[in-house]
Amino acid sequence: MFGAIKSVLDGITARMGGEKTIANISKSSDIVLVLVIVAIIVMIIVPIPPYALDYFIALNLTAAITLLVISVYISSAVELSIFPSLLLLTTLYRLGLNIATTKQILLHADAGEIIFSFGNFVVGGNFVVGGIIFLIITLVQFIVIVKGAERVAEVAARFTLDAMPGKQMSIDADLRAGILDSDDAREKRLLIQKESQLYGAMDGAMKFVKGDAIAGLVITLINIVGGLIIGVTLNNMEAMDAVRTYSLLSIGDGLVSQIPALLISITAGIVTTRVSSDDPDSNLGADISAQFLKQPKALLISAGILIAMGMIPGFPIAPFMFLASVMGMIGYALWTTQQMRAEQAMTAAGTGGGAATATAPTVSTTVKGHKVVSGGGIDSYALTLPVILEMGTEMSKMIQLSQKGKEVSFIDQMIP
């Protein structure tokens, strides 16, 4: 089945031109961006039919999910340096979509199938439950995620700007010492500049997310109150029917808007809290697993605590025992692997004697990004050490004369 799908996709890619099509899309990306901004303005001014709103809402969800997945796969925040600008665009798009759906809800009590499904299927057709879920999502987004990410961005921007002079001086010192060439130094300076601009922009861009959360809550309340007034006074609906109809639509609209906003807030939190990794191919999941699985004893102790919690009267024992078994097996496997490696290292160190010393592998003392300036071995060093030589006045005169070609070099005189 997967082979058939792959062949179909390969055929479509071949017909579309593959890399040529991607290159053409990249060349027209500026036009696409302008069209997106124009579409946001059109959504605010022109009434959008319900079937078109479904596509716009699906696009909003797609953008939020895509950004979240991309944030997991970056190795440093600088790799997503366009995120502050994307945050502004997605916020404007979501607010324009809110205005468009509000017009359809208040005018026709119809804002598309997605909003209707969120209002009925997701919350079970109960507008009270839907309102509670909407408030919980809004509070979690505003108080927990947005406030935390905003504080992290503020502190990161401050410390990044404070550390810039020291980093610049370090690059200049490495350049003078010969550790870096001019191209490497230029690249590192650009990286430092981009990092400072990113965190400075993130510090301000988090205000967009906070304002979006507040605006979503206010728009939902306006939809409920305005829909109740319009339904009772203009559409001659019963009060409960108006409350049920417009509340479900308004809450569905709020959930459709707040869930992508929540995903964007999580993305902002991941980007601002991402610590740069030495491996350019690393990602958040790989870093978590690598650091989490380094502590097998912690996993074994956690398994024991889970077993003890399962023994508490009234607690269901099955989930705790299942999780304890999984963590215990993983911890035991990691612990036995570490023990075997330690025993093998001790055996190799104790059985070689002088021959083992002669055939022992050379210890790597290289530093990533620096040049090793000695012949190798344990005494290798990865830094160029400056040498200061003090000379007398007579020696200085000899050097000056040798440079002018009037005398034989003093080095030639010292070498027999």
Residue boundaries of the structural domains of the chain:
1-34, 47-277, 293-342, 386-416
* Amino acid 301: pLDDT: 92
* Amino acid 58: pLDDT: 92
**Beta-carbon contacts of residue 283 (< 8 Å; ≥ 6 apart):** 72, 73, 74, 75
Q: Is the per-residue pLDDT at 189 higher than 90?
A: no
For residue 57, the Cα-to-chain-centroid distance in whole angstroms is 23
Per-residue pLDDT band at 200 (split at 50, 70, 90)? confident
* Amino acid 188: pLDDT: 84
Q: Is the per-residue pLDDT at 242 higher than 90?
A: no
* Amino acid 322: pLDDT: 92
Q: Per-residue pLDDT tens for 344-392?
A: 888 877 665 444 444 444 444 444 544 444 444 444 444 555 666 776 6
DSSP 352: -
Per-residue pLDDT band at 16 (split at 50, 70, 90)? low
Task: Indicate the average pLDDT of the chain.
Answer: 78
**Beta-carbon contacts of residue 200 (< 8 Å; ≥ 6 apart):** 157, 160, 161
**What is the C-alpha end-to-end distance of the chain, expressed in Å?**
81
- Of the listed ranges 124-128, 176-180, 257-261, 375-379, the least confidently predicted one is 375-379
Region 233-242: mean pLDDT is 81
Region 77-103: mean pLDDT is 87
Per-residue pLDDT band at 217 (split at 50, 70, 90)? confident
354 in helix, strand or coil? helix
Q: Is the per-residue pLDDT at 203 higher than 70?
A: yes
Cα gap 138→295, rounded to integer Å: 36
Q: Per-residue pLDDT tens for 152-177?
A: 878 877 887 788 888 888 888 888 88
Per-residue pLDDT band at 7 (split at 50, 70, 90)? low
* Amino acid 12: pLDDT: 57
- Of the listed ranges 35-49, 101-115, 142-156, 268-282, the least confidently predicted one is 268-282
Assess contact for 343 and 353: CB atoms under 8 A.
Answer: no
More confident residue, 165 or 122: 165
